[in-house]
Amino acid sequence: MEEIYKELQKLGFSQYECKAYINLLKNSPVTGYEVSKRSGVPRSMIYEVLGKLLDKGAIYTVPSEPVKYVPLPAKELIQRMRKSFDESFDFLEKNLLTLENEQETDVIWRVNSDEKVMTEIIEMIDEAQEEVWLSIWNPQAAAVKKVIEKKVSEKIKVFSMLFSEPNTKLGITYHHDFMAHDISEKRMGGHLTIVVRDKEEVLIANFSPDTAAWAVKTKDPALVLVATEYIRHDIAFGELAKEVGIDKVQSFWRNDPDLYYVVTGKRFE
């Protein structure tokens, strides 16, 4: 009997409620006084306990004088409780996951080492369901070529801005030719690499020949937006530079002290 009490208590019954309900299964209809006498529930508490069982729908009253109580049949009680718990689990699964996603929005994951960063990049691209935005250098471009080709074959849009890789194609490809690559490399302290997936997640990494690679990864919508716009801007400016002429673009910023600092990160000489 104690094991039955324990299981009912897991489902929200108090110990006295367990005793009263089980006693009514054995003997009913009976008065509250008889339930107290047979179950061991104190007389001072029996009507409070029976009231809680009535609220749970585990028992009901029989019109009589005095009032008598009968239990909901055990099979019906179990079915009703199972249905109620299933509905609660469905509700919690939907709403708790929503809260969890909101909490994770501001989480920034940090990754270190070339191998781990590349693993994150490849897995992130492989998870894409709609589109990928990519800004990448060699040799990382070569490392993602296979997974990019897979996503393209799945009709996933891939927009790539490639540095120092004039003959490589990764989806819809643009090449960063409007500025000497060593200028960008020195300003950024390495090869800045950005991957944006499905407007939901971004990874920002830096690969350097002198130190281990590092990356941050997040679903924060602000950072996802900024990273996507960074790549869009590079693509648009690169195409505009082709129309205007690379030499004219470079002479434009090289002769303006403020633009010189913007582009190179160094003071104008």
The CATH number that applies at residue 68 is: 1.10.10.10
What is the pLDDT, as a whole number, of residue 96? Answer: 84
- Sequence-distant (6+) residues with CB within 8 A of 191 are 136, 137, 140, 163, 185, 206, 207, 208
pLDDT for 11-25, tens place per residue?
A: 899 999 999 999 999
pTM flag (> 0.85):
no
Count of domains observed in the chain: 2
206 and 256 part of one domain: yes
The reply to whether 93 falls in a domain is: no
124 and 246 part of one domain: yes
Mean pLDDT across the stretch 189-211?
A: 91
62 and 121 part of one domain: no
The reply to whether 159 falls in a domain is: yes
What is the pLDDT, as a whole number, of residue 256? Answer: 75
What is the pLDDT, as a whole number, of residue 135? Answer: 94
Find the domain containing 196 and state its range.
108-264
Mean pLDDT across the stretch 54-69?
A: 91
30 and 115 part of one domain: no
pLDDT for 217-243, tens place per residue?
A: 999 999 999 999 999 998 888 888 788
**Consecutive H or E run containing 217:** strand 214-218
Mean pLDDT across the stretch 87-111?
A: 79
The average confidence (pLDDT) of the chain is: 87
% of the chain at pLDDT higher than 90: 59
Q: What's the CATH number where 236 sits?
A: 3.30.870.10
Burial of 17 (0-12, 13-18, 19+ CB in 10 A): buried
